[in-house]
Amino acid sequence: MAKKILFTFLAITLTLFTFTDISFSAGATVGSKAPEFSLNDLNEKPVSLKEFGNNKAVLLVFWATWCPYCVQEIPELKRINSEYKDKGLEIIAVDIRENPALVSDFAKKQGIDYTIVIDADGSVSKDYNVVGIPTNVLIDKNGIIQYNANPMPSKKLIDKLIKEIDVK
């Protein structure tokens, strides 16, 4: 009986590994170059990482409107945006696979004042190895990932990270 259970478990595990895309991009680890992307914002205007060049740090926030932890982060993201936007930090919230109209309505109700883009097919999320949301990726002015984790770090840590990457 134990052999039968073990065999079944191994067969299921092998099937999952065979038919599930579990590959991870080496380009989304701390210390590596951030993967480039171009996604449309809520006004259907393309937004790309390269447009910020070497003069801005970027905080990417992978999220969705239905995620309660993502919603809990919004006040802190608004605070960070208010404090650092004019000092060289750009927040880009990457919504994963949701309807742009739904996201736009949600953003208006929440008073979100930072950039939101739609990752309609999930490809950018995959490039950044997003396995849960919210996932926050802090990219320095040179395009190097300095932080990549789920969920957002404490206010003290995010302020420290932002100051370390020379956002004054």
**Any domain includes 149:** yes
Omega prior to 151 cis, within 30 of 0 = yes
Q: In this structure, is residue 1 part of a structural domain? A: no
Mean pLDDT for each consecutive 10-residue tract of the chain (168 residues)? 50 39 58 96 95 83 97 94 90 98 98 98 96 93 89 74 72
The Cβ of residue 6 has, within 10 Å, a number of other Cβ atoms equal to 10
For 71, the domain range is 28-164
**CATH number for the domain that contains residue 56:** 3.40.30.10
pTM of the entire predicted model: 0.81
Burial class (CB in 10 A: 0-12, 13-18, 19+), 130: buried
Do 87 and 160 meet the contact criterion of CB atoms below 8 Å apart?
no
CA distance 63 to 112: 13
- Kindly state whether residue 12 falls inside one of the protein's structural domains: no
The pLDDT of residue 3: 59
Residue owning tokens 């809990």: 72
The total number of residues shown for the chain amounts to: 168
Say if 150 falls within a structural domain: yes
Residue 18 lies in a domain: no
How many distinct structural domains can be found in the chain? 1
Which pLDDT score is estimated for 53? Answer: 66
